[in-house]
Structure 1
Amino acid sequence: MADARAHRGSVSTEAAGDADPTAILLDRLAHDLRGPLSPLQTAAYLLRRPDLEPDRRDELLAIIDRQTTRLSSMVQEVSDWARARQSRLVSRREAIVPSMLVELAVTSSKADVRLDVAAELDERTLDGDAQRLVQMLVALVGFMHSRHGEVVMTAELAEQGVRIDIAADGSPWSPGERESLFTGAEAEPFDEGLGLRLMIAKAIAQAHGGDMRARETRNGLAMVRVLLPLRAAAAED
């Protein structure tokens, strides 16, 4: 998996050249959005057959359910990307306990995660959109899970606020992957989506006054570090 990622690159950095990166990305989106439509059209056509066996009918209905879910997710991905470009991703803010945030993200993800949360985070709060922050962490967990290594998430206090590290145990970065991780859409999305989720995740961190960087663990393994500022003391009171 890691070797394959060495040739992935991103749409905006490798395909754009002197052309408009937005136009190239939109062309890519139009192509990818057609993906779920073909099986939907085939299933709809076959369901009209009066001699269709019940088992085959159930299979076709499952295809429709799966592909419509995928298409809906893609449309939401495009919507989030557009909102990120317009700085409209975060619409509401509330006090969030960091330890509860990471635990909710782990529960919401589809991966087994080894979680290590500093006890002092129970007494601190962030100021942000809980739904968006969970979305951000779930995307990072999904990305690390796709590398076929155990996902390890640690959360602790840092000088800049709260530091959350998400790593893939046993999976190093491929050459050039770390530098281009957030610069454009993934050429081969980790989740059968449009390849925008990592860009959106970083935009969510930045919308909260934080940042997101591709780093390495002490053992040289792939890791993404998220920094989020704590809620101001006046807001706490």
Structure 2
Amino acid sequence: MAEIETQRLDGYRHLIDIARDLASTLDLDTLLRHIVAAAAEITDAEAGSILLYDGTARQLYFQVATNMDQPTMRGLVVPLEGSIAGWIVANRRTVRTEEAHGDPRFFSDVEQTTGFPTQSLLGVPLITKEKVVGVLEVLNKNKGNFTDADENLLLVLGAQAAVAIENARLFQQSDLIAEFVHELRTPLASLSTATYLLLRPEISKEQHDQIIYNIHNETLRLNTLASSFLDLARLESGRVQFHKTRFSVNDLIYECKDVMQGKADEARIQLRVDSPEDLPLLEADRDKIKQVILNLLSNAIKYNRPSGSVIISANATETEIAITAQDTGMGIPEDALPHLFEKFYRVREHESKAGGTGLGLSISKQIMQGHNGTLEVKSKVGVGTAFILRLPRGVKKIPRR
């Protein structure tokens, strides 16, 4: 009895240390990793996971997990009906089971996808301000069964985690909104000036038409900025689900080439593909990877020199597929490279050549991170720039959605 009481007190002392750790972290991904690691540790479980709930889309999906296949798990959607996690969200109650496969709510597709066998499971809802933000689960108690003490510890951690997750989301949103409002000033100032000039009786018909044209362009710019802002906000908050399928990389590359060919012809840029025909299939969110490639090709054409070229190439190893967009443009100064993926960052030397939101590369990097991939850049001023996407091949079965 004394030993059990000592273990319980040790657990609560550990929770105090965890609370301090969570309070000092505002990066959402880092925060979630800390939470699942702590959950598995305090309950002596083999693995832990966090599923986030998007109340607007009514979707529940894995965001982070320990001791499981992270690239496969991240973004994996779990049904609200027909899963233990979905039941926890709907009922806002804890579930503890020693025979997960015997529970009719058990969603076996997750196990089939990851190859991680589940015996016992303990899950608690993450609730803050009467709102469910997700589910915290631990799997497979290392010794014996999950106890009341484990459940109580996980409930306390879950309460701390829910507040920390919401705070991290709010911090990201406020930070992003502040930057967004700053970026709005330039197009809004242009629109204000243009509309003022339209009211002047002395402007000519030619000036009038030019002002209308400028207003149209600034409106398009605002629309693009708003769309990009929403994309980035969803990615940074962890509310984007990646719908993975297996597809041909070459087919996607040629599809992207066809989309950008008109823009390349207009800029007198040669656009070509150089990749082997026997590339393996890639398992990823095809639309999101297409978005990244199109963004890189758009930049490669926009910042190229007249009669320059852009080459899209791909190659595969046993573990990854790499896709490269190489241009013969003006290049990027070395001091700008560390800032290239920052929100709203624009290379000073490029600003006068072509406009943009300054969000495309940041969004692209977030998408790659969501696939457990990387986005690298190599550049030399006056020679050109290469962006390289590296994606884990991923060959496991995709669950039915």
1:209 aligns with 2:372: yes
With over 3 angstroms needed to count, the CA separation of the structure-2 counterparts of 1:160 and 1:182, relative to structure 1, is: farther
1:75 aligns with 2:75: no
1:119 aligns with 2:282: no
Distance, in Å, in 2 between the alignment partners of 1:82 and 1:93 is: 21
Larger radius of gyration: 2
Structure-to-structure mapping, 1:148-187, within 5 angstroms: 148-149=304-305, 150-169=309-328, 171-187=330-346
- C-alpha contact (below 8 Å) 1:136/1:201 kept by paired residues: yes
- C-alpha contact (below 8 Å) 2:323/2:390 kept by paired residues: yes
Pairwise CA distance, 1:54: 5.3
Give the secondary-structure state (helix, strand or coil) at the position aligned to 1:68.
helix
Q: 1:34 aligns with which of 168, 177, 185?
A: 185
Pairwise CA distance, 1:198: 0.9
Distance, in Å, in 1 between the alignment partners of 2:180 and 2:216 is: 21
Distance, in Å, in 2 between the alignment partners of 1:96 and 1:52 is: 56
Aligned residue number for residue 385 of structure 2: 222
Pairwise CA distance, 1:164: 0.5
Alpha-carbon RMSD: 3.4
Distance, in Å, in 2 between the alignment partners of 1:50 and 1:181 is: 45
With over 3 angstroms needed to count, the CA separation of the structure-2 counterparts of 1:233 and 1:132, relative to structure 1, is: closer
Give the secondary-structure state (helix, strand or coil) at the position aligned to 1:120.
coil
Aligned residue number for residue 293 of structure 2: 137
List alignment gaps of at least 5 residues for structure 2: 1-170
User: Which deviations, in whole Å up to 9, do the C-alpha atoms of 1:126-171 show, x marking residues without a partner?
Assistant: 3333332222112222333344253222112233332101122365
Pairwise CA distance, 1:34: 1.8
Q: Paired residues, what number?
A: 213
Pairwise CA distance, 1:215: 3.3
Amino acid at match of 2:370: A
Aligned residue number for residue 358 of structure 2: 195
Q: Which has the higher contact order (CA 8 A, sep 6+)?
A: 1
User: Which deviations, in whole Å up to 9, do the C-alpha atoms of 1:24-73 show, x marking residues without a partner?
Assistant: 76544322212222332344445557887655444333222211110000
More deviation, 71-80/33-42: 33-42
1:85 aligns with 2:249: no
1:61 aligns with 2:220: no
Amino acid at match of 1:232: V
Pairwise CA distance, 1:21: 9.5
- C-alpha contact (below 8 Å) 2:332/2:347 kept by paired residues: no
Q: 2:284 aligns with which of 128, 133, 136?
A: 128
Give the secondary-structure state (helix, strand or coil) at the position aligned to 1:114.
strand
With over 3 angstroms needed to count, the CA separation of the structure-2 counterparts of 1:144 and 1:50, relative to structure 1, is: same
User: Which deviations, in whole Å up to 9, do the C-alpha atoms of 1:201-223 show, x marking residues without a partner?
Assistant: 11111212321112369xx8532
- C-alpha contact (below 8 Å) 2:345/2:358 kept by paired residues: yes
Distance, in Å, in 2 between the alignment partners of 1:213 and 1:147 is: 18
Structure 1 length-normalised TM: 0.72
Distance, in Å, in 2 between the alignment partners of 1:61 and 1:170 is: 33
User: Which deviations, in whole Å up to 9, do the C-alpha atoms of 1:164-199 show, x marking residues without a partner?
Assistant: 011223655422333333255414485523322111
- C-alpha contact (below 8 Å) 2:194/2:211 kept by paired residues: yes
- C-alpha contact (below 8 Å) 1:210/1:229 kept by paired residues: yes
Distance, in Å, in 2 between the alignment partners of 1:180 and 1:32 is: 17
Amino acid at match of 2:356: G
Amino acid at match of 2:291: Q
Question: Once the two structures are aligned, what percentage of the paired residues are identical?
Answer: 24
Distance, in Å, in 1 between the alignment partners of 2:370 and 2:246 is: 16
Distance, in Å, in 2 between the alignment partners of 1:174 and 1:46 is: 39
1:108 aligns with 2:259: yes
More deviation, 84-93/97-106: 84-93
Amino acid at match of 1:210: G
Structure 2 length-normalised TM: 0.45
Amino acid at match of 2:324: D
Distance, in Å, in 2 between the alignment partners of 1:204 and 1:103 is: 21
- C-alpha contact (below 8 Å) 1:125/1:231 kept by paired residues: no
- C-alpha contact (below 8 Å) 2:300/2:329 kept by paired residues: no
